[in-house]
Amino acid sequence: RHRAVGAHPGALGVVAWQSWQVERDYRDQQQQIRERQAAWRAQNIRNYTVTYSNCNASFCCQQVTLRVENRNTHQLMSNCAPPTIMFVEDFQVYTMDELFRWLNTLFERDSSWHHLALEYHPELGYITRLRLERIEGAPALELRYENLEPGA
């Protein structure tokens, strides 16, 4: 094993502990995500509209209204003036089911994310705010899902 220059022997133990703590936190968070996903699915909301916004320090906020039918994206409407219908193929916005699936494997696919903060709707169980930060200090990614209205 290599030791960092100027580091005392206990420094490697601290790094190993931090790595273990991150892994434990990830497992706890994965369990919470699975529980919230089950609560969301139990609502059986297949059709809904929701306001989605994607904010990042490196680009402007994008805001759209997402219309979901039978748990699939049906339409995206920009919230700019004048409102325009956007092509689903050109703009990645996850439905709530897709977002939960993406989160379930996030850290397995990309280990550069190191902090995940989630907020949930208290009654319906869907994610209202997601914030991801990278290890190297790149700008955080923040997604918001607001004003979800179940439809027929």
pLDDT in tens, 10-69: 444 444 444 445 566 777 888 889 999 999 999 999 999 999 888 765 555 678 888 999
Smallest Cα–Cα separation from 136: which of 117, 112, 115, 116? 112
CA 55, 122, 118, 96 dihedral sign is negative
Higher pLDDT, 113 or 1: 113
Q: What is the pLDDT of residue 6?
A: 39
Q: What is the pLDDT of residue 77?
A: 79
Whole-model pTM: value is: 0.72
What are the strands, taking DSSP E only, across 72-140? 72-78, 85-86, 113-120, 127-134
The answer to whether 50 and 145 have CB atoms below 8 angstroms apart is yes
The pLDDT of residue 141 is above 60: yes
Contacts of 22 (CB under 8 A, 6+ apart): 114
Rounded-to-integer distance, Cα 128 and Cα 76, Å: 18
The answer to whether 77 and 83 have CB atoms below 8 angstroms apart is yes
Q: Which of 8-12, 81-85, 89-93, 106-110 has the lowest mean pLDDT?
A: 8-12
Confidence class for position 142, pLDDT limits 50, 70, 90? confident
* 3-class DSSP state of 110: coil
Q: Which of 49-58, 122-131, 143-152 has the lowest mean pLDDT?
A: 49-58
